[in-house]
Copies of this chain bind each other. A is one copy, B any other.
Amino acid sequence: MRVEQVRYQSDDGLDLVGVLADGSGGSRAPAILVAHEAPGLTEHIKNRTIAFAEQGYVAFALDLFGAHDLGLEEGRAQATAIVQTPGLLYRRARAGLDVLLRLENVDREAVAAVGFCLGGATALELARHNAPIKAAIGFHPGLKRPAGSSDGPITARILMMIGDLDPIVPQEDRIAFAQSMNAAGADWELHVFGGVGHSYTNPDVDRFNFNGFRYNKDADRRSWAMALALLRDELKA
């Protein structure tokens, strides 16, 4: 499989570096945009991008920040800035999506956005702005809406998978999410893993010892299976 860095620019002129893993064997194939957590494009995200490619997809990990593998403080500062600047999360996400859509062997009618933490919110923003994606999937996504978020309508299928103990997604955010999805006419699902915290897919999170952040092997495995099942349904039908 080909795995390579791709240099590109956002429309606000920032130099970005994504990672492309093409599992298509060169033939026309469905594609997955992978959006990263607050610390940027890390090994964890690169590994998942390759894992999607191993399922036969063209997978591209976008870069929201123009910098990878940030420290915690810098990651948080970048994440805060991008969600507080109206429309910026969508524009940076769209720049990444456009990299995928320009690839010759990508089936443009079969593209999904998948994200982790901040990346889940990123995938949702693409859906809310009616970008050409068939599905938006979030692993432990933040569900607060960034500044400049659009109200839809949403045609992409939505699946958000959260840990019940995730301090990033309090009950009121779950209810507001449902209301906004209903208002946008979305085909949406919310899956809650009991006893599970934030960042459950990321084995590296435990070393930070944050309250409510914890890797969970079962939730990791189950959420991955649910995502692959949905992607098969929507992209390979």
| Chain A residues with a Cβ under 8 A of chain B | 158, 164, 171, 175, 178, 181-182, 186-195, 218, 222, 225-226, 229
Q: How many copies does the complex hold?
A: 2
Question: 7 closest Cβ contacts across the A-B interface?
Answer: A188-B194, A190-B192, A191-B191, A181-B194, A189-B193, A164-B178, A189-B194
Q: Which listed residue, B189, B190, B194, B229, touches A186 by the CB 8 Å rule?
A: B194
Question: For residue A157, which residue of chain B has the nearest CB?
Answer: B218
Structural contact, A188 and B195, CB atoms closer than 8 A: yes
A191 to B226, CA, bound (A): 11
Q: Which of B186, B191, B193, B195 contacts A192 (CB 8 A)?
A: B191
Q: Provide the bound-state CA to CA distance between A11 and B192, in Å.
A: 37
* Distance between Cα atoms of A130 and B164 in the complex (Å): 23
CA distance A113 to B164 in the complex (A): 24
> Would B194 and A187 count as touching, CB distance under 8 A?
yes
With A and B bound together, what is the CA distance between A125 and B60 in angstroms? 46
